[in-house]
């Protein structure tokens, strides 16, 4: 697959997360995928765990949106910088809904297999999220 086509997979990843549709997210991944949220310490293995993870975020942030700022793919590897936004309208573990907006920068590292994602590791700042949602004081 050409590098330009691999970069399109990363564009599709952001579009799928912004769709609020777990099936669209899952369609981009291999059956034996690994999706790691490093900040939360969660490693989802396989599509069912990824579905549960996605639905948790879609329930908490029904207007969840991911905008790619940069992306790169070469061979089986890719990376992206992104901005995720949303309104906290549903509960997360230990974080009852606040109806506050969040806007976080982050990055993801991808391992690609053909035109699908085999592994994704997300990195973002929890302190920023906690401050924006009111669970931690802002300065």
DSSP string, the chain: --HHHHHHHHHHHHHHHHTT-HHHHHTTEEEEEEEEETTTTEEEEHHHHHHHHHHHHHHH-TT-EEEEEEEEEETTEEEEEEEEEEE--S-BTTB-----EEEEEEEEEEEEETTEEEEEEEEE-HHHHHHHHTSS---
Whole-number pLDDT of residue 62: 97
Query: Is residue 50 exposed (0-12), middle (13-18) or buried (19+ Cβ within 10 Å)?
Result: buried
CATH of segment(s) 3-133: 3.10.450.50
Report the C-alpha dihedral over residues 106, 131, 40, 95, rounded to 10 degrees. -140
Whole-number pLDDT of residue 7: 80
Whole-number pLDDT of residue 86: 98
* Tens of each residue's pLDDT in the chain, 139 residues: 555 577 889 999 999 999 999 999 999 999 999 999 999 999 999 999 999 999 999 999 999 999 999 999 888 999 999 999 999 999 998 999 999 999 999 999 999 998 899 999 999 999 999 999 999 998 7
> Hey, how many other C-beta atoms are within 10 angstroms of the C-beta on 32?
11
Whole-number pLDDT of residue 2: 53
> Hey, how many other C-beta atoms are within 10 angstroms of the C-beta on 69?
12
Whole-number pLDDT of residue 139: 74
Whole-number pLDDT of residue 15: 97
Domain positions in the chain are 3-133
């Amino acid at each position: 697959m050409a590098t330009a086509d691999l970069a399109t997979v990363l564009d599709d990843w952001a579009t799928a997360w912004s769709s609020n549709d777990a099936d669209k997210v899952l369609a981009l991944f291999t059956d034996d995928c690994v999706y790691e949220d490093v900040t939360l310490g969660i490693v989802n293995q396989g599509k069912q765990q990824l579905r549960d993870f996605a639905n948790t975020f879609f329930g908490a942030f029904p207007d969840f949106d991911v905008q790619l700022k940069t992306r790169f793919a070469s061979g089986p590897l890719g990376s992206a910088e992104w901005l995720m936004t949303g309104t906290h309208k549903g509960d997360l573990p230990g974080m009852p809904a606040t109806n506050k907006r969040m806007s976080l920068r982050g990055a993801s590292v991808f391992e690609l297999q053909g035109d699908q994602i085999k592994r994704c590791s997300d990195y973002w700042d929890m302190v920023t999220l906690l401050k924006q949602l009111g669970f931690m004081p802002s300065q």
